[in-house]
Amino acid sequence: MKESVDLLIYNIKEIVTPEPPYPKKGKTLKDILVINNGAIAIKNGEIYDFSTNEKIRDLYRGDSEIDLKNENIVLPGFIDPHTHLIFGGSREEEFLLRLQGVSYLEIQKRGGGINKTRKDTFLISQEKLIEETRKKLNSGISYGITTFEIKSGYGLDIDKELTLLEIINKLREESFVKIIPTFLLHLLPEDEDKNIFLKKLFDILPYIIEKNLSQNIDIFIELGAFDLDIGDKILERGKNLGFNISLHIDQFNNIGGADLAIKYNVNSVSHIDLTDEEKLYEFGEKNIVGIIFPLERLIFSREPKRGREIIDSGVPLSISTDFNPGTSPSLNFPLIISLSIIREELTIEEAINSSTINSAYALKIHNEVGSIEKNKRADLLIFDLDSYKKIPYFVGMNFIKYVIINGEVKRVV
Ligand code: NIG
Ligand code: FE
């Protein structure tokens, strides 16, 4: 007698998934499990079992079943560990200006950049902001993102940052995808004294933890944003309160953010475009995940092959959209994978590990999502492709046919 499960997916041309140990780094970043002619049994929103077709179909029958006729492949959902998904307006004018040679930090100095988006975010009503953010979430899901880290960061001051965190949490409660909110210290409020800002911040941090608005803090360590001194003070307090820490470092200038990352043993460091090699080795030793943004790097015409250098230094690598209105306005995750291979010299297997399990590791949710393993959340992608090697090959195209979230099937095309 076969055991019944909620959903059985069978005749899968390839099941493609990371395998422990995690995080993947160095040579193990190349390892991927491929099961040809496989099947997956799903029960109560979780992966109940998976193996070859024969084994699984002998053991189970599904209340509903999907026959992929050996034409389609299945991967775990993409985990995006770094997005600035909640904002109003857009910045196409400065996008074009930058391509004419005006720098990002120069535009920021002139009142554009993050400060423009800060204003735009609160020009629209809260209802409109929520509606716009829902649309972006849906767009990301159609590109295969099933876990979104979402940062605040476009509040004009601390109160408005709290409003953004509250909205992110509202979306987290209503949404079927997994959302991880992060409190981002992006720029100091215009004309606010550093010490007054710090006092307000320290008053509010315990409240953020208590109300479970966010367990994560990120800081933009950069000229014109947060310097090492204030960064250090925030991290010391944040760590003591139990926050997980991630940092934006070495994007436009190397001002020593890597030292803070090492001192506070953070979960992840983003950008690391200009980080010194010996610091990369230390990240690798400490399992600090390095998150890079192949699209943002293309937009800023960075030298290629940085991804390869980071991997060769032993850092567990993650790739992400960095979706935001300034430096990376796209949620097309398969495109990010293509670019990571074309420009950053990753192999396709490295790109898959960097889009799934290592990103989950950066968010400390790798026991729950990021790979196809028993008892993990059934967040899966069914591609209308017969080989995982075709994902980067069809550049900019989207062959995702179904996104399965928590065991529920959502049709994309
Ligand atoms: O990750 N560099 C800081 N934060 C974003 C950009 C935000 C913006 O320009 O609006 C980033 O690139
Ligand atoms: Fe960012």
pLDDT single digits (tens) 128-145? 999 999 999 999 999 999
Exposure class string for 368-406: b at 16+ Cβ within 10 A, else e: ebbbbbeebbbbbbbbbbeebeebbeeeeebbbebbbbe
pLDDT single digits (tens) 5-59? 999 999 999 999 999 999 999 999 999 999 999 999 999 999 999 999 999 999 9
Any residues with Cβ below 6 Å from ligand 1, and which? 84, 113-114, 117, 220, 248, 251, 296, 322, 324-327
- φ, ψ of residue 254 in degrees (nearest 5): -90, 100
Distance from the alpha carbon of residue 205 to the mean position of ligand 2, in angstroms: 21
Distance from the alpha carbon of residue 324 to the mean position of ligand 1, in angstroms: 7
Assigned superfamily of 78-362: Metal-dependent hydrolases (3.20.20.140)
- Burial of 196 (C-beta count, 10 Å sphere; 0-12/13-18/19+): exposed
Per the prediction, the chain carries an average pLDDT of 97
| pLDDT confidence of residue 413 | 60
Tokens representing residue 283 in the block? 């990240």
Q: Let me know: does 395 contact 294? Beta carbons within 8 Å.
A: no
Residue nearest to atom 8 of ligand 1 (CA): 326
CATH code 3.90.79.10 for 3-77+370-411:
no
Nearest-angstrom CA–CA distance, 52 and 73: 13
pLDDT single digits (tens) 288-329? 999 999 999 999 999 999 999 999 999 999 999 999 999 999
Residue nearest to atom 1 of ligand 1 (CA): 322
Q: Is the pLDDT of residue 186 over 90?
A: yes
In 3D space, the residue among 338, 317, 332 whose CA is nearest the CA of residue 271 turns out to be 317
Position in ligand 1 atom list of the atom nearest CA 271: 1
Nearest-angstrom CA–CA distance, 271 and 245: 15
Distance from the alpha carbon of residue 218 to the mean position of ligand 2, in angstroms: 9
Q: Which runs of E-coded beta strand occur in 21-71?
A: 33-43, 46-52, 60-67
Position in ligand 1 atom list of the atom nearest CA 104: 9
Q: How many CB atoms lie within 10 A of CB 411?
A: 8
Q: Which sequence spans correspond to the domains of the chain?
A: 3-77+370-411, 78-362
pLDDT single digits (tens) 245-280? 999 999 999 999 999 999 999 999 999 999 999 999
Tokens 């297997």 label which residue?
A: 349
pLDDT single digits (tens) 78-127? 999 999 999 999 999 999 999 999 999 999 999 999 999 999 999 999 99
| pLDDT confidence of residue 202 | 98
Residue 193 DSSP SS3: coil
Position in ligand 1 atom list of the atom nearest CA 252: 2
Residue nearest to atom 7 of ligand 1 (CA): 326
Residue 362 DSSP SS3: helix
Contacts of 273 (CB under 8 A, 6+ apart): 250, 251, 292, 297, 302, 306
